[in-house]
Amino acid sequence: MSIEREVTDLPKSTAANNRMKENRTIKDWVLATRPWSFPASSMSVVTSAAMMVWVAVSQGLHFDWINAVLSLIAMVFFQTGGNLASDYHDYVSGVDKPGEESVQILTSGRFTKREVAIFSACAFAAACAIGLVICFRSSISILVIGAVGLLLAVFYYFLKYHALGDLCIFLEYAILPMIGTSIVTIGRIWWPVLLLAVVVGPVTVAILHANNARDIPSDRASGIKTFAMVIGLKASRWYYHGCVLCPYVLIILGIIAGFFPWTALLSFLALPRAIGIVKDVNKLMSSELPFSMIDVRTASLQLLFSLLLAGGFALGAIFGF
């Protein structure tokens, strides 16, 4: 840590920091994990599990509900560890500065670096423990998927700093968990799940990209290079548009190809909200923080869109579409 960073952190007295720690509640620990972002990981499991239910019913395969639930829990723990690890590295590297709302868990003195590091390690450990149970119940190939996912999560900060964050998130919260969910629920990879990953994954990537587009000025000052910085703010707007709108086109193509039931059109009920966010992004382009709160709203969109899509698969399974 630089001397300048240490001096910046000094205004809050040790006594004040201690009082903040003493007044911490369970809510503070929960908020430290950024729970609003959990749809980024959990919805990949929910949608792919719903798809596998439809596949299992239509093809007479066995669906393992226990593995599906365990996978969902593991992914939440996995993202918790990733979120905390990212906050830790952003803080110690000087990317996050005091006064930034998104990083108050460290800059406010409410939590120490050591506490965040331990919290992150515990979350990763819980995810790995559940993963071993899933592996025992299904296939050893899950170990490979889990190991790659863990490496991506642990070194996400490095990849993000070198403009590879969007690709990392797409692999970590779309491709890998959806392939894994297919294996542990029906016993094999149903390859059309990759199309589902391309449907759900871009909306997840949009959450990250909106955050990075908002932080372009501060990230540039910190000396890192995100993908949003590489393509610029104007291109980031169109990139965001594609991430949240193109999935609807892919759903239609999936239905035509027979990979999705026609009831997947239920997801189009989220389209008005997606269009609304896109319009707001355009309006906010001239403001000082053009993507302010768009990341949170995109996570909300991801939750709605994914639940509706999962509901479409469920209806297809129930009624045999």
Over residues 209-219, the pLDDT tens digits come to 888 888 888 78
Q: Could you give the CA distance from residue 120 to residue 124 in angstroms, rounded to a whole number?
A: 6
Q: Could you give the CA distance from residue 51 to residue 42 in angstroms, rounded to a whole number?
A: 14
Q: What is the pLDDT of residue 283?
A: 75
Length of the chain: 321
Q: Could you give the CA distance from residue 321 to residue 315 in angstroms, rounded to a whole number?
A: 8
**Among 18, 13, 34, 106, which Cα is nearest to 295's?**
34
Q: Which one has a higher pLDDT value, 5 or 316?
A: 316
Q: Centre a 10 Å sphere on the Cβ of residue 171 and count the other Cβ atoms it contains.
A: 18
Tell me the β-bridge partners of 152: none
Instruction: Answer yes or no: is pLDDT of 16 > 70.
Output: no
pLDDT category at 6 given cuts 50, 70, 90 is very low
Q: What is the pLDDT of residue 8?
A: 39
Tokens of residue 232, six digits: 């610029």
Q: Which one has a higher pLDDT value, 312 or 207?
A: 312
pLDDT category at 7 given cuts 50, 70, 90 is very low
Tokens of residue 187, six digits: 């016993």
Q: What is the pLDDT of residue 206?
A: 93
pLDDT, average across residues 273-283: 89
- Dihedrals phi, psi of 259, to nearest 5 degrees: -85, -25
Radius of gyration of the chain (CA): 20
Instruction: Answer yes or no: is pLDDT of 75 > 80.
Output: yes
Q: Could you give the CA distance from residue 198 to residue 38 in angstroms, rounded to a whole number?
A: 19
Q: Could you give the CA distance from residue 79 to residue 172 in angstroms, rounded to a whole number?
A: 10
What does the angle CA 299 – CA 300 – CA 303 come to, to the nearest 5 degrees? 90
Q: What is the pLDDT of residue 287?
A: 57
Least confident of 54-58, 273-277, 288-292: 288-292
Q: Could you give the CA distance from residue 160 to residue 22 in angstroms, rounded to a whole number?
A: 34
Give the three-state DSSP class for 24: coil
Q: What is the pLDDT of residue 71?
A: 95
Q: Which residue has the tokens 């104007």?
A: 234
pLDDT category at 208 given cuts 50, 70, 90 is confident
Going from the C-alpha of 312 to that of each of 50, 158, 305, 309, the distances in angstroms are: 9, 38, 11, 5
Q: Could you give the CA distance from residue 207 to residue 226 in angstroms, rounded to a whole number?
A: 14
pLDDT tens readout for residues 138-183: 888 899 999 999 999 889 888 988 999 999 999 999 999 999 999 9
Contact 76, 38 (CB under 8 A): yes
Least confident of 81-95, 114-128, 151-165, 183-197: 81-95
